[in-house]
Structure 1
Amino acid sequence: MEPVLARSVRLADDGVHILDRRNFPFERTWVRCATVADVAKAIEDMVTQSSGPYFAALWGMVLAARDTASMSKEQARAYLERAGDMLVATRRTNNHLRKAVAAVLAGVDAHDDVQEGALAGAEAGDERYRSRSRALGAHTAALLPDEGAVLTHCWADLYLTETVTAAQAAGKRLRFICTETRPYLQGARLTAETLGEMGVDTTLITDGMGAAVLSSGEVSALLTAADRVTMDGHVVNKVGTLGLAVAASAFDVPFLAMVQAPDRLAATGADVPIEYRPGEDVLHTLGRRTATERAKGLYPAFDVTPPRFVTSVVTDRGAYDPARLADYYEGVDSPGESND
């Protein structure tokens, strides 16, 4: 059975419907976005997370295309570019939003009818992401032992579910240890719930327990997704990944970072903007304040792990040493190819 979160964004006649991950799994409510601006706000407000914003951006661009019926092709193209810029600005660290916008614009450019082209581009972008995630999951599963414990952090969405699917198909008996991932608790609410849906033996730990668990000798691998991997091997992911990677290195546990492709537009970690979310977020958990007014909060939403702490970067073309990521693009002429 496909996990619920694998299809958490849907296009309908009355807009884009997004499963609200802020309340999942305790509530299963859908937020209807009637316009592309509504979609942008939903992404910014964390209604959807991980790969959810990618799919929301795809279908949000289709909503924008519906607004262009009375425009010339040139006017419509400009309108869609502005809509795309608005979507990309909502979460700048992860470049999936840029890829989603590019997929829809490519569809528009390939068709005479703007709305038909936008829909075709979005559908192609949807299928491309899913097929590349399946390839990525298969390559990752092949690197994991036949049995053992895997520590993961935050939510890898289709990357993780496809890895689990491939591992189960290969007869591997893996158990997962999930960090809770404060302040939104994605690990507790999303990762652990979905692994449980898939029949995986799942254990939840608090964020502060990661180094102790890695020191136990029971963990076979640290496995996370990456919001972006730079060409020199820096891994940008949910804040907390860096600390786990350093601890894994100290205790000789391999760290596998999953990404469909390294980003040729980011040479090093300095080229990736790190999103800071409101400090108030860390003073609350699930809507309840956990610190008094005497404290202020700081919330860098992502951190950057240097390549010396990364064992392998696993892509849809296989695993690469962080120092050899240029090999991914060997024989590829266009900077956009295999990176869209």
Structure 2
Amino acid sequence: MSDIAVTMPTLMRESVLLEPDRVRILDRRVFPFETRFVDCATVEAVARAIEEMVTQSGGPFYAASAGLVLAAREAASLATAEARLDHLRAAGRRLVATRATNDHIAGVVKSLIGEAEALAGTDVDFAAAFEAATRAAWEARRERGRSLGRHGASVIADGDTVMTHCWAEATIVETMAAAIRAGKTVKVICTETRPYLQGARLTAHSLAEMGLHVTVITDNMGAHAMDRGLVQRLMTAADRVTMSGHVVNKVGTLQLAIAAQRYRIPYFAMVQAPDPRAAGPADVPMEERDPQESLTCMGQRTATPLAQGWYPAFDVTPPDLVSGIVTSKGVFPAAALPVHFQSAGDHGP
């Protein structure tokens, strides 16, 4: 590993800010054209921000846990330990309900409620101790992300062009950072990722901030780029990976994985750990968003008013299309996950 310095992108440094009286969430719906924050003084405001796609991918992990800190501050004045816990549990239920498929929120809420149960009946400053536990969870997640990145970089060869889809948050950033530190020259092709254009805006901007050569393509160019020999690796995040090795990710991942197999291009899905509570895809609730979102882009109507829309937010890629699952513990065959992961833990990009 070399001493090459890597500039970490804005979205990794300023995504969610926890302040004494509010949570500030960077509005990814308008970034990078505007750097605008949505201020949330209540758990309900945080929940609405997550539902309205102010933050996506790994962002809800930080936003939801920061929202729980707001709830802990409110609960600190309640008379009994059980009242404080009831208040936090209600807040947790509201936050978990915001996004069903991506389980980052459920995982961190469960973990932090456990911390609260240990704190509620003690003499410590409840709100301060809960915030400290939350910030510790953030740092632990960042460290797992750095570990995943090192493993991710190991499957990239010097000179590769990597295609990615949607905004893969720390998984793609830490992977590319590790590749740069290893002295590898890497180019990236980003699909635009309708209807929010996360790939064109968030991924492309973040990787370009790191000094990488980045090309944006429309969502219907992936197979053609592979056919032209422009791609050596397909690498995406995963909103969830089941123990059967199925990859649940932003809709459009499946068609890229099918094309990658046709052109003998390895596909690696990146997730901190698979979800041991999901044996297979039937155990994962698949979110469908407002069909109107497919009829617009960046607030502009793009479809005829005579048409209806459909917006399944995620699709499922079967394990036979996946060359490996990159995790914070290493890279494993999709079909072999149960051998390496047996217990519940933090997972997601």
Equivalent position to 1:5, from 8, 11, 25: 11
1:213-272: CA deviation from partner (whole Å, max 9, x where unpaired):
111222110000000000000000000000000000111000000000010000001110
Which residue identity is paired with 1:86? R
> Shift of the alpha carbon at 1:105?
1.5
Which residue identity is paired with 2:292? E
- TM-score (norm: length of structure 2): 0.94
Match of 1:193 in 2: 205
Counterparts of residues 160-239 of structure 1 (less than 5 Å): 160-239=172-251
> Shift of the alpha carbon at 1:116?
2.8
Match of 2:88 in 1: 80
> Shift of the alpha carbon at 1:100?
1.6
After superposition, the CA RMSD in angstroms is 1.2
Specify every segment of 5 or more residues in structure 2 that has no aligned partner in the other structure, as ranges: 1-6
Equivalent position to 2:280, from 268, 287, 294: 268
Aligned mates of 2:269, 2:219 — CA distance in 1: 18
Determine if the alignment matches structure 1 residue 147 to structure 2 residue 149.
no
Match of 2:268 in 1: 256
Which of the pair has the greater relative contact order for Cα pairs under 8 Å at 6+ separation?
Answer: 2
Aligned mates of 2:128, 2:28 — CA distance in 1: 30
Determine if the alignment matches structure 1 residue 130 to structure 2 residue 142.
yes
Aligned mates of 2:217, 2:90 — CA distance in 1: 42
Which residue identity is paired with 2:86? A
1:154-187: CA deviation from partner (whole Å, max 9, x where unpaired):
0111111101110000000000000000000000
Tell me the percent identity: 51
Contact 2:257 2:322 in 1 (8 A): yes
Which residue identity is paired with 2:138? D
Aligned mates of 1:286, 1:171 — CA distance in 2: 37
Match of 1:22 in 2: 29
Aligned mates of 2:252, 2:345 — CA distance in 1: 31
> Shift of the alpha carbon at 1:78?
1.4
Corresponding residue pairs, total: 336
> Shift of the alpha carbon at 1:338?
5.6
Specify every segment of 5 or more residues in structure 1 that has no aligned partner in the other structure, as ranges: none
Match of 1:101 in 2: 109
Contact 1:104 1:119 in 2 (8 A): no
Aligned mates of 1:132, 1:237 — CA distance in 2: 20
Determine if the alignment matches structure 1 residue 57 to structure 2 residue 61.
no
- 1:219 match: secondary structure: coil
> Shift of the alpha carbon at 1:134?
0.4
Match of 1:304 in 2: 316
Which residue identity is paired with 1:61? L
- 1:224 match: secondary structure: strand
- TM-score (norm: length of structure 1): 0.96
> Shift of the alpha carbon at 1:125?
1.3
Aligned mates of 1:274, 1:338 — CA distance in 2: 20
> Shift of the alpha carbon at 1:274?
0.7
- 1:119 match: secondary structure: helix
Aligned mates of 1:121, 1:295 — CA distance in 2: 49
> Shift of the alpha carbon at 1:124?
1.8
Which residue identity is paired with 1:43? I
Equivalent position to 1:40, from 44, 47, 52: 47
Q: Which runs of 4+ in 1 moved over 4 A?
A: 337-340
- 2:199 match: secondary structure: helix
Determine if the alignment matches structure 1 residue 324 to structure 2 residue 340.
no
Aligned mates of 2:213, 2:340 — CA distance in 1: 34
- 2:326 match: secondary structure: strand
